[in-house]
Amino acid sequence: MSCVLLNYRATDYLIHKRHSHPGYLCSNIRLHNFEERRLGFKEALHDHGLSYSKSIIHELSPSIDGAYSDFMEVLDQKQELADCYFADNDLIAIGVIKALSERGYKVPEDVGVIGFDNIDTNHIFQPSLSSIAFSRKYLGQLAIHQLLHHITNPKQPHIKIAIDTRLVKGAST
C-alpha cells in the first residue's frame, strides 16, 4: 500500500469525521515520502469535490520544536486556520498541537490533527495523537534485504516496496 493511498485514507477520515475541508501541515524540507503524502491529500480532496488550491497549508519545520515555533508565528500573524489538519509526520502534529494548546485552542474540539508515523507519545503527550502507523522494524528488514540483493545483483532493476499500515485513532481528531 503506497503513502499516496494511506494519506488518502487519513484525509478521507478527516473529511468524514470533521465534515470540513482539512488543512495540510507540510514539512518545509521536501522529501520523496512527503511528496507522496501530499499527493494522497490532494487526491482525497479531489474525490470529495474539494480544491487543493483552496486548502489552508502551513509549511513547518519537521521537528516538534521547529513546528511549534513556526506555528506560533502562524498564530501570531492571525493566519486563517483549518478546522482540522493532516501533518506530514507526528513531530509536526505534536508541535502544532502544543502551539494551539498554549494559545487556548482545544484539540480536537477547535482543531483536529492527524499525523503520520505513530510514534509512541501517549505516555508523555495529551491528547493522544491520531496517526498512520507502520512497522519500522519490518520496513528496515526489507530495506536491508533489498540492499544486499542489489549489491550481489547490481544489474537487477530497483524495486519499490510498500508495506501495509493502519490508522490509529487517538483523541486529536
41-94 tens-digit pLDDT: 999 999 999 999 999 999 999 999 999 999 999 999 999 999 999 999 999 999
Higher-pLDDT residue of 59, 3: 59
* Predicted structure pTM score: 0.82
* Contacts of 135 by beta carbon, 8 Å cutoff, 6+ apart: 163
What is residue 142's predicted lDDT score, i.e. its pLDDT? 76
Region 127-133: mean pLDDT is 80
Distance between CA atoms of 173 and 163, rounded to whole angstroms?
24
Count of CB atoms situated within 10 Å of the CB of 124: 7
What is residue 87's predicted lDDT score, i.e. its pLDDT? 95
pLDDT band (50, 70, 90) for residue 35: confident
Contact, 77 vs 53, CB < 8 A? no
**Per the omega criterion (within 30 degrees of 0), is the bond before 22 cis?**
no
